[in-house]
Each structure stands twice: as C-alpha cells, then as structure tokens.
Amino acid sequence: MDVVMRIGIRLLLARAVRAEVETHLGDEAQAKLLLRRVVRHYDALVDGLAREPTLGARIMARLSAVTVAMYRSLRDQGMGHEESRDCTSRINWRVYDKLTLIPWSLTRLLAKDRLRRVRKAMDIFMRFPYAPPGYDMSYVDAGDECVGFDVRRCPAAELFERAGLSDLCKSAFCDLDYPLAQNWGVALERSQTLSTGATYCDFRFRRAVGDSGQLVTLRRGRDQRRVG
C-alpha cells in the first residue's frame, strides 16, 4: 500500500502542487523539490502508523500522513504555519473535489432529489472508506428535510492530534466538507468536530435553495471558518 501511496503522491498531487505551489515558491523546480520532500516526510510518518482494522481506514490514515507531510515540506521550504496550512488545504481540495465526483455522479442513477442523493452518497461512503470498525459513524434522526449523522471515531483526526496539528486537520480535512456540500447543492450545518476537541462531529445536510433558487449562506455554528 505504501508503495502505491508514494506513486500516488507524485501522480495525484503533481498537478495540484504545481497549481498552488509555483505561485508561492516561484518555479517548477521548487514544486518538484517539494514533492520529493513530501515522500521523505511520508516515509517517516508511516513507520509509526498503527494498523487500522479496515482497508478504508488504513487508506485514510495514509492520506492524513500525506497531508501532514505536505504541510511539513512547505514549512521546510520557508512558509509560515498559517500559509503552509492554507496552501495544504487548497491542494487537498483540488484532489478531494475530483475523488468525490464519481460517487456523487453515481447517485444520480439512484435518486433525483438532492437530499436523497446525499443519503445515497453517504451510504456508499459508509461502506468505503468510512466503514466500521475503522470509523464509528451513525445516522441520526434529524427530520425529513435533513440527512444527519455523527462521527465518533476518525483515524484522520487521531493522526493529526498525535502530530500536534489538529488545526491542520480542521482546515485541510474537516472544512473541505463545506465546499463539497455546495457542490452537492445542499447546506452543511456542523457545530463541532473531533479536530476541535469535541467528542464527536455532528453532520447535518439540509436543503440550501432559497426563493431565488440560489444557494443560501452556509451556517457553521462554532465550527465557522471561511473556505476558499
């Protein structure tokens, strides 16, 4: 798996890194140097990873390690903490946006209503990669106009916490769910996350179309942070 991840770092991240990093670091040579540093940091991180009970959890733990490796590599090349965190978040979004496109497109075959499509998408994700016991996720009854679920165990949040980078987890993992919800044409409401020290993450996807037919402003409660 780790051999595949190293190849993926170069193939999957290369375009996203070029798009973001060359703006900050100046040229393609620096972007290539960054990718080599990411692989080195990743190798150091995976040596200490606990073996997760499911394939999906193992993959997500390694994607978290790639994220930490990216952040540390940007710091190595002279970026400050906030700039490295935000740049890593933008790189992750470029990848996340593409990876979630296929399962969301599949839901069109299963349902037409957006909330029903969200439920179908989450049914897929709860089988892979967020299957138990690697993840502890369960639906909650939040009414007919809401798809709600709680997450009580997340290997990604645990890895970032061990690395002392829970704010990177929130920015580069958790906060990406807001633009994802916008892509899906719904609104995400969430008042807390494991990455901010809560005992669980509370996801509530609701309809987000006002009278004008436009997406309404997302409400984020205590978890509020502008993305993008």
Q: DSSP of 81-128, one letter per residue?
A: HHHHHHHHHHHHHHHHHHHTHHHHHHHTTT-SSHHHHHHHHHHHHHHT
Among the listed residues 153, 159, 135, 129, the one whose alpha carbon sits nearest the alpha carbon of residue 61: 159
Among the listed residues 179, 191, 183, 177, the one whose alpha carbon sits nearest the alpha carbon of residue 224: 191
Lookup: tokens for 84 = 């490295």
Residue 135 has pLDDT above 50, yes or no: yes
Give helix then strand counts, H and E, for the chain.
9, 4
Q: Give 223 or 101, the one with higher predicted confidence.
A: 101
For the four alpha carbons of 76, 12, 19 and 185, in that order, the dihedral sign comes to negative
This prediction has a pTM of 0.87
Q: Output the average pLDDT for the chain.
A: 87
Contact criterion met (CB below 8 Å) for 54 and 136: no
Average pLDDT of the residues in 149-157 = 98
Q: Tell me, what DSSP letter sits at residue 168?
A: H
Q: Give 87 or 1, the one with higher predicted confidence.
A: 87
Average pLDDT of the residues in 84-112 = 93
Lookup: tokens for 60 = 């997500």
In the chain, where the domains are located: 2-99, 112-223
d(CA 204, CA 81): 31
Residue 220 has pLDDT above 60, yes or no: no
Instruction: Kindly state the helix (H) or strand (E) to which residue 139 belongs, with its residue range.
Output: strand 136-140
Query: In whole angstroms, how large is the CA radius of gyration of the chain?
Result: 18
d(CA 213, CA 88): 33
What are the tens digits of pLDDT across the range 32-76? 888 899 999 999 999 889 899 999 999 999 999 999 999 999 999
Q: Averaging pLDDT over each range in 42-46, 93-97, 146-150, which range is the top one?
A: 146-150
Instruction: Kindly state the helix (H) or strand (E) to which residue 205 belongs, with its residue range.
Output: strand 201-207
Per-residue burial over 165-203, b if 16 or more Cβ lie within 10 Å, else e, is bbebbbbbbbbbbbbbbbebebbbbbebbbbbebebbbb
